[in-house]
Amino acid sequence: MMKIRERYKIAKANKVGELTVCPSCGELFVKVTKAQAFCKNKGGTVCKDKYWNTVIPTKRNNTTRISPANERYYREFIEPRRNFDDDMGWDAHKDSF
């Protein structure tokens, strides 16, 4: 784990235009922006996500991979609407008059 942290520090310290090693996958890439630390060879944010999921212990030990924000969304918005209407008939409300 110390090896990938060191690679991350080196990648952040490199200047724009320098050849840099991706801390996550080890691929060489040319740094395009000052903030860039990961390659985009694997598409999207795969390397970045893999790095942070490995380095942060709470993410590394999370087996469900459900973020706290996603869990809260389901608890507050999705679950209350699942039991909204016990009678699943479309016209059930019309018979109450």
The CA-based angle 64-70-72, given to 5 degrees, is 110
Residue 70 inside a domain? The answer is yes
Residue range(s) defining the domain that contains residue 50? 2-82
27-69 pLDDT, tens per residue?
999 999 999 999 887 667 788 888 888 888 777 666 666 667 7
Is residue 97 one of the residues assigned to a domain? no
User: Is 90 within the bounds of a domain?
Assistant: no
pTM above 0.85, yes or no: no
Number of domains in the chain: 1
pLDDT of residue 94: 63
Residues 87 and 84: their CA atoms lie apart, in Å, by 9
Q: For residue 56, tell me if it sits in a domain.
A: yes
| Residue 76 maps to a domain | yes
Handedness of CA 44, 64, 7, 15 (dihedral sign): positive
Q: Is residue 91 part of a domain?
A: no
